[in-house]
Amino acid sequence: MFKLLGADQKEYGPVSADQIRKWIAQGRANARTQLQAAGSTEWKPLVEFAEFAADLQAAASPAAQPATGAPKKSGMAVASLVLGCLGLVTCGLTALAGLVLGIIALVRINKSGGQLGGKGLAVAGTTVSAALLLLMPILAALLLPGLAKAKQKANHIQCMSNVKMLNLGVMMYASDNNDLFPAGTNWCDVLMPYVQNAQAYVCSSGKQGQRCHYALNARVAGREMKDIQSPAQTVLIFEAEGGWNVSGDRELLPAKSRHSGAYVIGFADGHAEVVPAARLDKLRWEP
């Protein structure tokens, strides 16, 4: 009978010689495995026990081992490196998992007594994952202002598109109604057949819950198109705090600009502009 000291430093046995031979065949014991014979207190490498020489030789033969003779590679080590690299495209979301798996893989490889390989992969996965987690706040600080600027620009473009569509709707309405602009009391309602997309009435930067974020210049409402002396300078549609069928003049402009200190204004000739606050005094409101 024998006792065997496993790679996990635990003692197994007493077990028979046949059981030791099975473990050798299964790769659970090798020439370096420590063995203690019954009645002895001395631990010796299994290779020093003559009765197992043939079994060790058979296990070491090319037919019994992989051609490379390399230990089994740790799957966790591989996963750690893969997740760490994926952190580059997932904004670090997978890097935390890569770090944890890399540390676990290193611990298991060190305790395997040479049965597990892939230590280099585990180290690389742990390093890449940790580096990404440390760099994420820096990358966020660099990227967020750019993303915010891009979003603001997209809002400018969308608001310009909305005002152009509303301007066109007003022109089409006037064309169908003896060249008269819509009245200020129901201009949104009468424009619906011409501008059917509800989103065209809403600015993405406007106050939530409002059906419309634009107003009609009350001084041109209900007037004939020919009454407008300078259409390219006269305000027709402009940004407002919000509502539906809202009309008026400059006092309805949002107190705080929704577009970086500028306002989207539609003019009576159909074009639209992003007008800086400094130019508001130069806008023409009277026909």
Share above pLDDT 90 across residues of the chain, in percent, rounded to a whole number: 43
Q: What would the mean pLDDT of 128-152 be, rounded to a whole number?
A: 73
State both tokens at 233.
Answer: 């300078």
Query: How wide is the angle at C-alpha 90 spanned by C-alphas 88 and 95, nearest 5°?
Result: 70
Place of tokens 């051609």: 67
Q: Which among 72, 73, 78, 75 is positioned nearest to 28, based on CA atoms?
A: 72
Q: Inform me whether the pLDDT recorded for 252 exceeds 50.
A: yes
- DSSP readout, 159-194? HHHHHHHHHHHHHHHHHHTTTBPPPTTTHHHHHTTT
Domain ranges across the chain: 2-60, 72-141, 152-282
pLDDT of residue 170: 96
268 neighbors 168 (Cβ within 8 angstroms) = no
What span, in angstroms and rounded, lies between the C-alpha atoms of 59 and 66? 11
Q: CB-side exposure of 152: number of CA atoms within 13 Å? A: 14
- Residue-wise pLDDT for 32-67, tens only, equals 989 899 888 898 998 999 998 888 888 876 554 444
Compute and round to an integer the Cα radius of gyration of the chain: 39
- Whether 253 and 275 have beta carbons less than 8 Å apart is answered as no
Which residue type occupies 186? N
Structure confidence at residue 89 (pLDDT): 80
Considering the chain, what is the average pLDDT of its residues?
87
Alpha helices in 69-118 (DSSP H): 75-86, 95-111
Q: What is the pLDDT of residue 67?
A: 45
What is the tens place of the pLDDT at every residue in 230-243? Answer: 999 999 999 998 89
For residue 148, the model assigns a pLDDT of 64
For residues 236 and 140, what is the distance between their CA atoms, to the nearest angstrom? 42
Instruction: Give the model's confidence band at 8: pLDDT under 50 very low, under 70 low, under 90 confident, else very high.
Output: confident
Q: Which amino acid is at 216?
A: L
Q: For the whole model, what pTM was predicted? A: 0.52
Q: What is the mean pLDDT of residues 166-175?
A: 95
Strand order through the sheet with 11-15: 11-15, 2-5, 34-37, 44-45
